[in-house]
Amino acid sequence: MTFLINTPDPDRIEQFRQTFADAFPDLPVASCDDPYDPADIKFIFTWQALPDWDVLPNLEIVFSVSAGIDQFANLPAHIKLIRMVDPKNTQRVTEYVLAACLGCLRAFPEYGWLQRHHTWAPKQAGFAQDTKVGILGLGGIGQHAAKALSLNGFQVSGWSRTPKDLSFVTSYSGKDGFDKIIGQSDILVCLLPLTDQTKGILDRELFAQTKPGASLVHVGRGAHCNFTDLKNALETQCLSQAFIDVFVDEPLLENRPEWDMPNCVITPHVAGRIDPKTAVENVAQNLTRYYQGQDLLWQVDRALGY
Ligand code: NDP
């Protein structure tokens, strides 16, 4: 039985290989460039979906390198899919969200745009304690970010499919909850998984419901957002500012209109990055459970899509 590692980054392959070898000295590990017998592969650690999963006839478990798993829509239902829950990645995304919310509070996207136009235009900044942040998606990362924002004085609400009972965040769910959180938030943060229900959720209709002067921090997935609608919302000041980390087609090509959205900071999908050591610990924990016949952790509900 061989454990297959499939990532496009050769440095990361070596880091993962070494960490796996340390954790499971008896488990043969191969990268896609190594010679291996496809029939030997029971587990794969991969960022991308394979175009054809039948090439690995005995595959049982896909361990996703990323927290988001929307790219695995073509995975046959009998193969288990495990999403990445890496505490260091959660911390990284939280720090991005906190930095972006503070950046919106202090109007950094707006000042960046004014700088491009050689314009000196000071404005009065608000305070975190008067600022309402609404987080769409109160999962592992959303809750961690909510706590950090709350500790930094922001008034934090969150929206999820099922209601939550948490001391540091006001929880909303359902359509009524969605309308409330969109209408009241000074800063909206998207930390949803990409599913059939959440695709295109950041659109003209949502932007029209936002509070005047609201900002958007988008770190979910590109396809959550209609970028034509976002550009229009920023140009018409329906939204005042944005930090956008994810796009429909990445990398964002040089001639894309998104680059010219006003009052918007664009980052190249860097909010999170899996740490090889803690990521492999996540996989190791589940492999140990697998060998002991226990249920696996962080298994994706294929019907819900996350
Ligand atoms: P989780 O699966 O832990 O949490 C998902 C949250 O979204 C849950 O609270 C869930 O509700 C909620 N949700 C799902 N569907 C709906 C819906 N239809 N309506 C309302 N709420 C819904 O995910 P993570 O927190 O680990 O990650 C969230 C996402 O962040 C990832 O899927 C990925 O897209 C993105 N991400 C981006 C990174 C980057 O670098 N830009 C890095 C890491 C993650 P409930 O709690 O009720 O199940």
From the first residue on, what is the mean pLDDT of each consecutive set of 10 residues in the chain (306 residues)?
88 86 88 94 95 97 96 96 96 98 98 98 97 98 98 98 97 98 98 98 98 98 98 98 98 98 98 90 91 96 96
The pLDDT score that the predictor gives to residue 87 is 94
Please work out whether the CB of residue 306 comes within 6 Å of at least one atom of ligand 1.
yes
Task: Give CA–CA dist 222/76, Å, rounded.
Answer: 24
CB-based burial of residue 195 (10 Å sphere; 0-12 exposed, 13-18 middle, 19+ buried)? middle
> How big is the chain by its Cα radius of gyration, in Å?
21
User: Is 256 tagged catalytic?
Assistant: no
Looking at 83, 92, 218, 221, which residue is catalytic?
A: 221
Instruction: Locate 96 and state its tokens.
Output: 């991005």
* Centroid of ligand 1 to alpha carbon of 138 (angstroms): 7
Q: How far is the CA of 195 from the centre of ligand 1 (A)?
A: 10
Catalytic residue among 161, 269, 273, 302: 269
Do the beta carbons of residue 62 and residue 82 sit within 8 Å? yes
Which atom of ligand 1 has the smallest separation from the CA of 83?
A: 26
Q: What residue owns the CA closest to ligand 1's atom 18?
A: 197
CA of 193 to the centre of ligand 1 (A): 4
Calculate the average pLDDT of the chain: 96
Cα dihedral sign, 25-31-35-36: positive
Q: Whose CA is nearest to atom 7 of ligand 1?
A: 137
Position 146 scores a pLDDT of 98
190 alpha carbon to ligand 1 midpoint, in Å?
9
Which atom of ligand 1 is the closest one to the Cα of 143? 25
- The structure's pTM equals 0.96
- 218 as an active site residue: the answer is no
